[in-house]
Structure formats: C-alpha cells, structure tokens
C-alpha cells in the first residue's frame, strides 16, 4: 500500500509558478497495477519521483508499508566510470541482494554483450535504459515504478521486457506511465489521471483511458 497525504508540488520557472500536484490524497492498493495518465508536462514523472523519494514534495508526505523501486529505467544513479557489471554489483550490495545472481540476470536480460564490461559513460541511451531496466527487474520490490521503459529496444526486446514485468506482477504491484494505450491495457487493471494538479482515480483502466483521451482532445 502506498498512501499520498496532502501531496503538493510547485516549481518556479522563469519567475512563473507551476503546480503539478495540488493537495493529492489517494491510495495505491497493495498488489495493484495502476496506469498513471496525463498530458506531457502534467507532472507524471515528478509524481513517480516523489513516491520513490528521490525528490521532495512542497507539502505532504508519502506513507507505505512496503518497498518501492526507483523509477524503473532511470539510469541517473549509475556511475559513468564504472562498467555495467560494476554498477550492478554496487547496487546489489546497497539493496542486500545476491551479487552474482543479479549480475547473471542483468547480463542475460540486457543483451549488452561485451559492453556490459565497459564504462557506463560509453553506453548509448538505449543501452543505459536496458541496463537500468534489468537491474530494476532483478531486485524484488513490493511496488515497481515504471516510466516508459518498455518502449526501449526492438520488438523482441520489448516482448521480453513485458514478459519479465508480468512475472514480477504476480507478486508485486506497479505504477506505470506510458503513452501506449494498448500497453496500459495489457499491464494495468486500474488507472489514475493527473490533470491540472489533481489526481482522479478510476477502478477500471478503460474508464481512465477514456478520461485521459477526452482531456487530450480539449
């Protein structure tokens, strides 16, 4: 369970105040796979990072009784001078998981070949995303935060990513951001729509998609 209590987030850009979350109170149920919808710039990625704890809200707090991943596919915490394998080993130690098991999983999943043993700074954006997704999926969390990550790679890799994600969802929940409505239908059972700083909850993913598309048409 993840509960947002009076969450607000306001930025000041070029002297203008922009509020992407306004006193949000809602609960993400244990084990649920929730699609998070909103226009570009609505604040979806910001809300994920607030839930992950990587940025602070202006007001309010996040309460949870389980473990939450960093935004899956986010490679910002990787060290550029370390290899993919070394970064993976470091994260395994931080999270207290079996180092060799995680390295074996990531090396097989990410399909980086010899690049897995080269410095992270030499990776393309796609390679960085594949490494980050592999590391995220290799660690057990109660809730995974997923931000457009399954769009990385060719069709075969996308299928593999979705298969791994679905296996994790047998024991965990997720909050998913994607521009693909078909993907949201396949991965999520309920949805939430972020619009003008307000978060509207729908128990049915189709109802959330319908509301989001209506917002986009205005």
DSSP string, 67-85: -EEEEET--TTS-TTSBHH
Contact residues for 106 (Cβ-Cβ < 8 A; gap 6+): 84, 88, 116, 131, 134, 135, 138
Task: Average the pLDDT over 149-173 and give the result.
Answer: 81
Mean per-residue pLDDT of the chain:
92
For residue 100, pLDDT beyond 70: yes
Pair 211, 150 in one domain:
yes
Position 73 scores a pLDDT of: 64
What stretch of H or E contains 10? strand 2-13
Same domain, 47 and 145: yes
For the chain, give the percent of residues with pLDDT over 90: 72
Token pair of 86, please?
A: 């070394």
Which pLDDT band holds residue 151 (cuts at 50, 70, 90)? low
Cα-Cα-Cα-Cα dihedral sign, residues 18, 23, 27, 144: positive
Helix (H) or strand (E) holding 154: none
Comparison of pLDDT for 165 and 100, the residue scoring more = 100
Domain around 107: 77-139
Q: Is the pLDDT of residue 122 over 90?
A: yes
Instruction: Evaluate whether 112 touches 127 at the Cβ level (below 8 Å).
Output: yes
Residue 218 has pLDDT above 80, yes or no: no
Q: What mean pLDDT comes out for the span 76-99?
A: 93
Q: Mark whether 96 and 47 lie in a shared domain.
A: no
Check if the beta carbon of residue 1 is closer than 8 Å to that of residue 30: yes
Can you give the pLDDT at residue 76?
67
Number of H helices, E strands in the chain: 7, 9
For residue 175, tell me if it sits in a domain: yes
Phi-psi domain of 123 (left: phi exceeds 0; alpha: psi -120 through 50; beta: other): beta
CA angle 88, 180, 48 (to 5 degrees): 50
Encoding tokens for residue 193? 């729509």
163 and 212 housed in the same domain: yes
Look up the pTM and report it: 0.88
Could you tell me if 62 and 158 lie in one domain? yes
Rounded Cα distance between 154 and 145, Å, is 22
Q: 115 and 89, same structural domain?
A: yes
The DSSP output letter for 119 is B
Whether residue 38 contacts residue 193, with contact meaning beta carbons closer than 8 Å, is answered with yes
Q: Give the model confidence (pLDDT) of 53-77 as tens digits.
A: 989 999 999 999 999 998 876 666 7
Helix (H) / strand (E) containing 112:
none
- Is residue 72 one of the residues assigned to a domain? no
- The pLDDT > 70 percentage for the chain reads 96
pLDDT for res 154: 72
The C-alpha atoms of residue 184 and residue 167 are separated, in whole angstroms, by 16
pLDDT of residue 160: 86
* Predicted pLDDT of residue 210: 97
pLDDT at 81: 96
Domain count, the chain: 2
**Does 95 fall in a domain?**
yes
Q: What is the CATH number of the domain that holds 24?
A: 3.40.50.300
């Amino acid at each position: 369970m993840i509960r947002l209590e009076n969450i607000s987030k306001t930025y000041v850009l070029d002297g203008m105040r922009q509020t992407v979350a306004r006193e949000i109170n809602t609960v993400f149920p244990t084990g649920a796979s929730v699609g998070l919808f909103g226009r570009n710039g609505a604040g979806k990625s910001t809300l994920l990072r607030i839930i992950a704890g990587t940025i602070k809200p202006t007001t309010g707090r996040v309460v949870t009784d389980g473990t939450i991943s960093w935004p899956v596919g986010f490679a910002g915490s990787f060290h550029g001078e370390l290899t993919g394998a070394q970064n993976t080993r470091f994260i395994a130690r931080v999270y207290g998981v079996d180092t060799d098991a995680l390295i074996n999983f990531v090396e097989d999943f990410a399909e980086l070949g010899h690049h897995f043993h080269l410095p992270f700074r030499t990776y393309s954006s796609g390679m960085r995303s594949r490494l980050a997704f592999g590391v995220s999926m290799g660690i057990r969390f109660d809730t995974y935060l997923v931000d457009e990550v399954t769009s990385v790679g060719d069709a075969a890799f996308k299928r593999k990513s979705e298969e791994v994600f679905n296996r994790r969802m047998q024991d965990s929940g997720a909050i998913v951001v994607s521009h693909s409505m078909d993907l949201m239908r396949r991965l999520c059972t309920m949805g939430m729509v972020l619009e003008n700083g307000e978060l509207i909850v729908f128990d049915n993913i189709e109802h959330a998609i319908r509301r989001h598309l209506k917002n986009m048409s205005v």
